[in-house]
A and B are shown apart, each in its own frame.
Chain A
Amino acid sequence: METQQQLDNFQARIDAGEKIEPKDWMPDRYRQQIIRMGSQHAHSEIVGMLPEGNWIGRAPSLKRKLVLLAKVQDEAGHGLYLYSAIETLGVSRADLIDQYLYGSAKYSSIFNYPTLSYADVCVIGWLVDGAAIVNQTKLAQSSYGPYSRANIRICREESFHKKQGYEMVAKLASGTPAQRKMVQDAVNRFWWPTLMMFGPSDSDSPNSAELIKWKVKLNTNDELRQHFIDRTVMEAEAVNITLPDPDLKFNQETGHWDYGDIPWDEFWDVVQGNGVMNRERMKARREAHENGAWVRKAAQAYARKKKLSREQAS
């Protein structure tokens, strides 16, 4: 049973800015929240390999093929760091994976949108990785030590992804008419879904208050979204890209950019599993997992045999 004294001590450590480490006492609810958030983050990295992986085979130059392949590989690495961080709380990667492939665990809805042109991949680098950086830079300061450190590592690579994406967006935006059309179309499709990556408005986000109290999260969804919009507006202007929101306007009083209504109906629809690619993404991940079962079993059987023969030899 958790005593009030334990809870108070825990909160005092959090308030003092201390990191919570795996062996430290923590409320069960805190543990559950880290597992929920961290594994959702890990699953997102893995599903996130699919939309961009879709263009590796068709990348328009060898250099771009290498850049894209390396980026998608980084995302697999992010998944690995995060699963390892969450495993310190006594859950196994295999169980976490089961929960999203066959259970109710979620991943970021942004990956349920299709990549229709090569420009999508560039725009994902700019906007989606850009939004991920805003989120993850904050998560790098979160109170759970292993999760915080995993995010520090991830952020370094994400900044690189964003830089490469933005450079390519700039190149396309100043390229041939076809390239310009391609990149503007990609921005039009990805702008609103990217804003939704920060999650519902704080009033509709049931976990927010608790997560902030425990410094699992440091800012509200709306604060992070605003921060992202403020910096992206200028980046878009610099390369002559139009953001598809006629209501974007600088507000002298607040010092921030005001923006139009986010289509939350679409967001909830996609979260419920009704996006263009939801079913395909899950199908692809399940197939990879199931087709790989014999490989994982073989590796285990072989390791067992080797261990046994080593033991017999000694």
Chain B
Amino acid sequence: MSTDTLTTQKAFLKYLLRLADDRLILGQRVSEWCGHGPVLEEDLALANIALDLIGHSSALYAYAAQIEDKGHDDDYFAYFRDDYEFTNLQLCELPKGDFGFTIARHFLFSSFSYYQYELLKNAKDEQFRGMINKHLKEIKYHLRHSRDWVLRLGDGTEESHERIQNAFDEVWMYVDELFYTDDVDEIMIASGNGADVNSFKDDWKKFVEDTLTEATLTIPDWDQYMISGSRNGMHTEHLGLILTQLQFLRRSHPEADWK
């Protein structure tokens, strides 16, 4: 898409949807742990994280609806779009895997979100800024939770070390997309409401490397093949099945009130 057709308003809408889609889809994944956690305290912690993520997505969707100004609401974006219209990272839609995979993915996502929100918390748009500041507190908790577990699993037993190492190896080709940018980002940064992700890429990498090193883990190859395309609607086949579950009831009875 060329910049001349992309207005500030449309860029804002897309930006919000990207943020919201990540959180809805990852929240849906994390919620799958509910009742199946490795220990009761983690059932509570993971439910809490899922609640935060889905709560954040709902707030972002609601604001997207306001920016879009077509009479939609938060549920519209979650329940009435198809796979190719979702712009979440493929990182977020991968199956929950074992506890190690869930932790590795969440560590990468929440550390990235932390740096990103630290920039967005100064956004010009007041409503957006308020939302970001509120969510940032919870992201800090997610980061602490997942980082603590990376250390425990990495430096725990032989088995846990191997499992979390495998998880990082497996998920690594999805991390480059965290730093994908296009004209949406350019417009948002220019209008004072976007985060320049490349400005913290090195810091983020160092933070990740330091944590993995402390956890006695090997840092996977940053230069390996990296997937791309999520922000423009490219997905794994997992997304379709997530949406099948997420949307089925609502779409079966579109005229019903479920609020």
Contacts and interface: CB of A to CB of B under 8 A. Distances in A.
Interface stretch (A7-15, A48-56, A201-209, A222-230): A48-56
Provide the main secondary structure of the chain B interface.
helix
B58 A72 contact: no
B38 A296 contact: yes
A273 interface: no
Contacts, number: 140
Interface residues of B, number: 50
B245 to A, nearest CB: 5
A61 B250 contact: yes
B152 A298 contact: yes
A302 B215 CA distance: 10
Nearest to A59: B249
A50 B34 CA distance: 8
A88 to B, nearest CB: 17
B259 A291 contact: no
Determine which residue in A58, A72, A292, A295 has the highest number of CB atoms from chain B within 10 A of its CB, and name it. Answer: A295
Contact of B61 (A59, A62, A295): A62
Interface in B25-84: 28, 31-32, 34-44, 47-48, 50-51, 54-55, 57-58, 61, 74-75, 78-79
A46 B31 contact: no
Given A46-B40, A302-B155, A53 B35 contact: yes
B213 to A, nearest CB: 16
A61 B51 CA distance: 14
Contacts of B38: 288, 291-293, 295-296
Interface string A280-314: 00001001100111111111011001000000000
Interface string A146-186: 00000000000000000000000001000110110000000
A62 B155 CA distance: 38
A49 B35 contact: yes
Contact of A294 (B28, B74, B159, B259): B159
B122 interface: no
A296 B75 CA distance: 38
Interface string B171-201: 0000000000000000000000000000000
Q: Which of B39, B44, B57 has the most CB of A within 10 A?
A: B39
A295 B160 contact: yes
Given A69-B34, A292-B38, 4 more contacts: A53-B35, A61-B258, A296-B38, A298-B160
23 contacts: A49-B43, A57-B246, A61-B258, A62-B24, A62-B57, A62-B74, A63-B259, A69-B50, A72-B34, A76-B40, A76-B47, A80-B44, A292-B39, A295-B39, A295-B153, A297-B156, A298-B153, A298-B157, A299-B39, A301-B156, A301-B160, A302-B155, A305-B155
Interface of A: 46, 49-50, 53, 56-66, 69-70, 72-73, 76-77, 79-80, 83, 93, 118, 171, 175-176, 178-179, 284, 287-288, 291-299, 301-302, 305
Interface of B: 24, 28, 31-32, 34-44, 47-48, 50-51, 54-55, 57-58, 61, 74-75, 78-79, 98-99, 151-153, 155-157, 159-160, 163, 245-246, 248-250, 253, 255-259
